[in-house]
Amino acid sequence: MILGEFLLVAVLAVPALGAVVVAAIPHDRAARVVGVVVAALTLLATLPLPAGRERGWFAYAPLPPSPEASVAIHPWHQVDAPWVPGLDLRFHLGVDGISWPLVVLTALLTLLCCYYTLWKVPEGSSGRALVALLLVVEVGILGTFLAFDLVLFFVFFEVVLLPMYAVIAGWGGPDRRRAARKFALYTLFGSVLLLVGVFVVVAAAGTADLLALTGSAGMSRGTQLAAFTLLALAFAVKSPLWPLHSWLPDAHTQAPTVGSVILAGVLLKMGTYGLIRIAVGVAPEGARWAAPVLGVLAVAAILVGGLVCLAQTELKRLIAYSSVGHMGFVLLGIATLTATGLQAALIGNVAHGVITGLLFFLAGAVKDRTHTGDLGDLSGLRETAPRLAGLLGFAAVASLGLPGLAGFWGEAFVVVAAVQVGGALWTTLAVLAAVGGALTAAYFLRLLRQVTHGRPSPAVARLTPGLAGAELAAWAPLVLLALAVGLAPTLVLGVAEAPVDALLEVLP
């Protein structure tokens, strides 16, 4: 087995085995330390995956495709072994420039969340169980990004449901059980649609291999329209796309800090990644047919998310609704079906994961210190905790799309892509998306004015000014990444350019 194949297996095997080991260790603190080590090893295994290409780290030199493979997917590395021979299902993993940034982001956020549990676990609960569940969630998300078999993709997609439900229900806020049930019900609804969509594709094409499926091999136009509708609805629930988004604010508000970071940082990306890799790749005629509807719904999400955020009075709920708007930009980029739009969607995915993950870490720190998330009770933070207020200000301006930070590239070039498509509809959508961007700036500036400025409220006045070293260690990588991706977008765009261009070749 060559190094790349070994690393692909290790990326899934290490956290899977680590979850079992962590759950078996009787000492809670020792188990959490082992969990951090396991998450760190997983991250280290993801970093060298692009190595060995002929033209350097950010060049694209794919493996030679097999005769039956689609021209749209040329993985850097593959693992392909029999899984269920009687049904011709294979344990087929692979990685390319579309999936690798999300794989690294997943591993990084899981490491930071496991590290966070070393010094902050809800009182009276088991940190060992929480870390084990986080590692199981990591396996499901990484497997979703690496699966090149449609049935295997579905299995990994579903692995995430139960452990994330347990994280919310076991370590969340006062209304955690209702929020967890709502999350589970919506996710199960999406899962049923995804299962039916997978069945339609496999039955029509006679294979579950994504290398062969990409480009609609063996499927009529009518089948593609039906398959895309089912798959798009399933991924819209996970993304979430308005009006299927209502589980998200409740889940974020009640989830513990690490649950919110994983939810916003990478779990939502399973939907947008699936929309690009599966729905668009497998049913390109369906994607072209549904693109205007997706564009309209995406812009509706941007505007509704922005307007609701302007009216929000709870810190975590505001950040949660901001995700609805940000993912609307990602979905609009996908709906354009252009190289600029898909690239903007991919970098928007990564930027949202980094910045919103940081925002939820900071919101958790504020709520832990003040015991409230009500914006009316949080004024004057810069007077009593200037470092925390400064970091919150940095994350807010990054999220609103300030040039030079990661949030700028995705949202700005989604608007450019919509203009490039042309026509009255797409030009109108571009203008409305730009208005949505202005709403984003408005509600984040409102957030900063209410929380950081003014006379310190009683809840804020008693804060100690310093930050723990562990907090800075957990947040620093996200701050640095927001700067790095903002200043050097080729960190994401460089690896994705060739596979995006190849994917567009199969579109009608």
Domain spans in the chain, listed from the N-terminal domain onward = 3-505
d(CA 271, CA 259) in angstroms, rounded, equals 17
Nearest Cα residue to 399 out of 365, 340, 358 = 358
Specify the pLDDT at position 118.
83
Taking all residues of the chain, what is their mean pLDDT, rounded to a whole number? 86
Task: Between 16 and 188, name the one with better pLDDT.
Answer: 16
Give 244-299 pLDDT, tens digit per residue.
777 888 888 888 888 889 988 888 889 899 999 898 888 888 889 999 999 999 99
Cis peptide before 75 (omega within 30 of 0): no
Identify any residues that bridge with 77 across adjacent strands, giving them in sequence order. Answer: 95
Say which amino acid occupies 149: D
Specify the pLDDT at position 462.
79
pLDDT band at residue 61 using 50, 70 and 90 as cut-offs: very low
pLDDT band at residue 484 using 50, 70 and 90 as cut-offs: very high
Q: For residue 328, which phi and psi values (nearest 5 degrees)?
A: -60, -40
Specify the pLDDT at position 71.
53
- DSSP state letter for 89: E
Q: Residue 491, by phi and psi: left (phi above 0), alpha (psi -120 to 50) or beta? A: alpha
Whether residue 218 has pLDDT greater than 70? no
Quick one: average pLDDT of 143-150?
92
Write the CB contacts of 288 (distance below 8 Å, at least 6 apart in sequence): 337, 507, 508
Indicate the angle between helix axes 386-399 and 423-452, nearest 10 degrees.
170
Write the burial class of residue 230 (CB in 10 Å: 0-12 exposed, 13-18 middle, 19+ buried). Answer: buried
Specify the pLDDT at position 222.
87
Task: Between 358 and 372, name the one with better pLDDT.
Answer: 358
Tokens of 181: 């049930």
Whether residue 196 has pLDDT greater than 90? yes
Give 369-385 pLDDT, tens digit per residue.
888 888 888 888 888 88
Tokens of 143: 């497997």
Whether residue 37 has pLDDT greater than 80? yes
pLDDT band at residue 82 using 50, 70 and 90 as cut-offs: confident
pLDDT band at residue 497 using 50, 70 and 90 as cut-offs: confident
Specify the pLDDT at position 96.
87
Calculate the dihedral angle through the C-alpha atoms of 455, 457, 458, 459, rounding to the nearest 10 degrees: -140
- DSSP state letter for 209: B
* DSSP string computed for 161-217: HHHHHHHHHHHS-TTHHHHHHHHHHHHHHHHHHHHHHHHHHHHHHS--BHHHHTTTT
Whether residue 58 has pLDDT greater than 60? no
Least confident of 76-80, 161-165, 389-393: 76-80
Write the CB contacts of 53 (distance below 8 Å, at least 6 apart in sequence): 59, 60, 61, 76
